[in-house]
Every structure is written in structure tokens, then in C-alpha cells.
Amino acid sequence: KAGVTQTPRYLIKTRGQQVTLSCSPISGHRSVSWYQQTPGQGLQFLFEYFSETQRNKGNFPGRFSGRQFSNSRSEMNVSTLELGDSALYLCASSSGTSTNEKLFFGSGTQLSVL
Amino acid sequence: GQNIDQPTEMTATEGAIVQINCTYQTSGFNGLFWYQQHAGEAPTFLSYNVLDGLEEKGRFSSFLSRSKGYSYLLLKELQMKDSASYLCAVPVVTTSGTYKYIFGTGTRLKVLA
């Protein structure tokens, strides 16, 4: 069974640009959640999609958005990039039906904003 | 509010035992997870506790006390490959009636030869 796949692995952008990150979940999983990871803050929850609908949202500005397609693949978009957006962006997949199920993470996209 | 606290960094010697603590304050409780994350890699699941007590899984054990809002991860017979960050996470129910996971900042463990 293939794991969670995130592309690209690395990205370098400049301030003001926008970026789109992609996440393909494990086959059969309908929930995809996104996290921002920085050294000082740990994993911060961005949002979660379940069956093409945003089910939960974290406390991030509207510049951060996402969507999910009918095959459960998800994309995350950040517009008008700021230096502080430099981070590792992780996505995780699960069936999304129970609080006792573990998350399966992708290896992440390392975004650097110059 | 919801909050999870873990020590930032710990150091231990190969072959020793180390205990990584996690305290949480959440409205309601639906279990607690531990994940391991090696540098530059994805976090991977280690353990899940929902009832009080100790769960043993090989060299790793996890303990939970719901009344104290406290958990720890115990690593025995430490190996160099155990050098990693250890993340504590708790699922919390949201206003929509679904749930999301809250993570601690992680504990970076260094194992020295």
C-alpha cells in the first residue's frame, strides 16, 4: 500500500509570490489534514478536508487555503507569501471517522521564502 | 483553551532509559497519541492511550493518567537510532462536532554514545 505522497519536496519562493502544494493520501482514506511545522511552534493545524469539504480550520490567515478533489488528493495554496511562511508543511491522511485512529504523514514540503 | 506541554530537548546515553513527559489541558478527552519524527522525515505513529495505565510495546511504553492530564513515553535500552523528536498529540472535538488533532511542540531526544 503506497504511503502519503507530498510534492514538491522543496520549494524556494520570494515574498509576494504564491505557492501550491500537493498531497496524495493513502488509498481509501477520505480525510486529509495539513500542518505547518516550525522549530519553535511545533505542528500547527491548518485545516482538514473530508470528502471534498473543509471540515475544520485552524487559526491561520485567509492567505492559506486548500481544496480536496474527488479522488481525495488535496492541494494547499498560500498567496502573497511572507518570510514567516517559511516552514515544513506536512499533510496527513486517515479514514477520518474516529478519534482513535492514527494519522499517516507525508514527508512534507520544505518551503523557503526569501 | 487547549494546550499540550512537553520538554523541548533531552539528552541520554546509549543503553539507558529515558522518560519523555507530556501534560495536556483539553475540554474533553478522546485519547493521546505519541509520534516519532526523525530529522527531515515524516512523523510515524508510536502509541495510543485512552485508558489509564501503561501500554508496553517492545522497548517503548506509554503511560496515561487522565485525572492528572499527564502522559509519558518510556524508552528503554536506548539506541542511537532513537535520536529523534517525539510528539504528543490529542484529538479534540470541534464546534462542528468533528475533531482535529492538537500537537505539542515535540521533544528532541539526543542519544549519545
- Please indicate if any CB of chain A lies within 8 Å of the CB of B99: yes
Test A58 with B103 for CB contact under 8 angstroms: no
Test B100 with A45 for CB contact under 8 angstroms: yes
H or E segment and range at residue B45: strand B44-49
Q: Residue A98 and residue A87: Cα distance in Å, rounded? A: 29
Give which of B35, B105, B108 to mutate to test A binding, by max A Cβ within 10 Å.
B105
Test B33 with A50 for CB contact under 8 angstroms: no
Q: Which chain A residues contact residue B31 at CB under 8 A? A: 99-100
Which of B18, B94, B11, B29 lies closest to B65, judged by CA? B29
pLDDT tens by residue, A53-106: 999 999 999 999 999 999 999 999 999 999 999 999 999 999 988 888 899 999
The pLDDT, as a whole number, for residue A1 is: 65
Which of A72, A67, A47 lies closest to A57, judged by CA? A47
Cell of A105: 504523514
CA torsion A104→A60→B103→A66, rounded to 10°? -10
Q: Looking at chain B from residue 49 to 88, which residues have their Cβ under 8 Å from any Cβ of chain A?
A: 50, 87
Q: Give the three-state DSSP class for B82.
A: helix
Q: What is the mean pLDDT of residues B36-59?
A: 95
Q: What is the mean pLDDT of residues B8-21?
A: 97
Which of A37, A46, A49 lies closest to A111, judged by CA? A37
- State the average pLDDT for chain B: 94
What contacts 24+ positions apart, CB below 8 Å, involve B38-42? Answer: B38/B83, B38/B84, B38/B85, B39/B84, B39/B85, B40/A107, B41/A107, B42/A4, B42/A90, B42/A105, B42/A106, B42/A107, B42/A108
Test B87 with A43 for CB contact under 8 angstroms: yes
Let me know if A20 is exposed, middle or buried by CB neighbors in 10 A (0-12, 13-18, 19+): middle
pLDDT band, residue A52 (cuts 50/70/90):
very high
The pLDDT, as a whole number, for residue B98 is: 85
- Please indicate if any CB of chain A lies within 8 Å of the CB of B106: yes
